[in-house]
Amino acid sequence: MRSPFHSEAEAFRFVLLLIVAMVPIALAAALGPAWLVVAVVLVVVGALAIHLSQLRMRRLRGEEIQLKMAPPHVGPASERRVLVVANETLAEDSLVGEVRRLASAPGTRVLLLAPALISASARLTGAVDEPVSQARARLSQALERVANERVVAGKVTDTEPLAAVEDAFATFTPDEIVVATRWERGAGGLEPELAGQVRERFAVPVRHLVLDPGSAAQEPGADTEARYRNESGSAAANRFGLKALATAAILAAVLMSAIAVVKSSEKTEARVASQAAAELIAGLPPVAPAVNLSVYAEYKKGPEGEKHDAFTVTEFAVRAGQTQQLTIDNTDTVPHSITSPEAGVNIIVMPGTHTYQLLVKKAGRYLWFCTFVCDEWAMEHPGYMSGYINAS
């Protein structure tokens, strides 16, 4: 099967382009904001569209093949070879009749060439079996109706029609070419402008037969052939280029609009989040940047009436991630502590008056207690040698 690309280098460039196109998209998705991802995707898609448009324009203009000289005659001097290029028109009575007429001439050999019309997507995916089978079935039926296998041969090809004609010069070497199409291209049909393209590239007589279902074969007039030429070649490529430019302008406008919408959305979300945070903070209880407290032995009565060791402040209100200054006067002769493993706090309170830093990184309500053995009952009861840290 012939590749949809013109060369291995072109196929390699296309694959490399796809790989390179994924790199900025991945980087933008990993590192950039949402609007940058949208911008990069649209730019990459636009670049691929431009590349495909260039391929399409080259196809419309046609490959720059130098006009071939008439090939040397093959076989006896009296032998004449005719190449008939057809596909869906192989079922028409008028074409079968024309092939019979050509084959009836003394010393004439005819080759029916049936290019299987395969779309670019089918070539890329390898789904070529069905169109090839359809072309083979049409050709087989046409050869049975002509019923002259000694003179008329057939060939199915999956190459592009113009390239298939070129290949035929290397094997069959025709003295004349007949291109059979519809007036307008239909689904799975040869392009009417194929005859003009063949005529421009090969220095042998070329006839264009146009066949509608159930009607006689006709040769299009000069005006119709001019219209066919206008639908391909430089004129068609220029029109396609103008459409591509207009499409690019529309895509650019869409790109700018999309970026603006995404940026606006991000600003709105940031503003809403900021407002929500401000409202949340406004609704939280006040937090003192510094707290003064003391530790006394046998300071506070318990439910049984006995006095227990205690901190004068056992509830601390802090902001998560912000440091609160604690000035503690430990009147006892031994150290105590404010310890909360869940909050990541462990302040050793030495005898005397000292300043300590209380820092909790995550919001929550955390139990703290003294880890130095002093008053065991007080160490287990909040409000004495234990309490809570409320981080908001």
pLDDT of residue 113: 93
Phi, psi of 23 (to 5 degrees): -65, -55
pLDDT digits (tens, 9 = 90+) for 240-249: 556 666 666 6
Q: What residues contact residue 359 under an 8 Å CB cut-off, 6+ apart?
A: 318, 321, 322, 323, 324, 345
Pairing type for strands 324-330 and 315-318 reads: unpaired
Q: What percent of the chain has pLDDT over 70?
A: 64
Which of residues 342 and 22 earns the better pLDDT score? Answer: 342
CB contact at 8 A, 212 and 137: no
Which of residues 204 and 70 earns the better pLDDT score? Answer: 204
Q: What residues contact residue 78 under an 8 Å CB cut-off, 6+ apart?
A: 106, 107
Does this model's pTM top 0.75? no
Query: Tokens representing 32?
Result: 């950039």
Locus of tokens 């670049």 = 47
Q: Identify the CA nearest to 100 among candidates 139, 138, 143, 137.
A: 143
Per-residue pLDDT band at 2 (split at 50, 70, 90): very low
Segment 266-270 shows an average pLDDT of 63
Locus of tokens 């409320």 = 390
Task: From residue 207, give the alpha-carbon distance in Å to each of 69, 96, 168, 219.
Answer: 18, 16, 16, 8
Query: Tokens representing 174?
Result: 């025709």
pLDDT digits (tens, 9 = 90+) for 342-357: 888 899 989 999 999 9
The Cα angle at residue 233 between residues 85 and 175, in degrees rounded to 5: 30
Number of H helices, E strands in the chain: 10, 14
Average of per-residue pLDDT values in the chain: 78
Which of residues 236 and 39 earns the better pLDDT score? Answer: 39
C-alpha–C-alpha distance, residues 24 and 20, integer Å: 8
pLDDT of residue 230: 64
Phi, psi of 388 (to 5 degrees): -135, 145
C-alpha–C-alpha distance, residues 210 and 191, integer Å: 11
* Sign (positive or negative) of CA dihedral 195, 196, 202, 203: positive
Per-residue pLDDT band at 270 (split at 50, 70, 90): low
Whether the predicted pLDDT of 231 surpasses 80: no
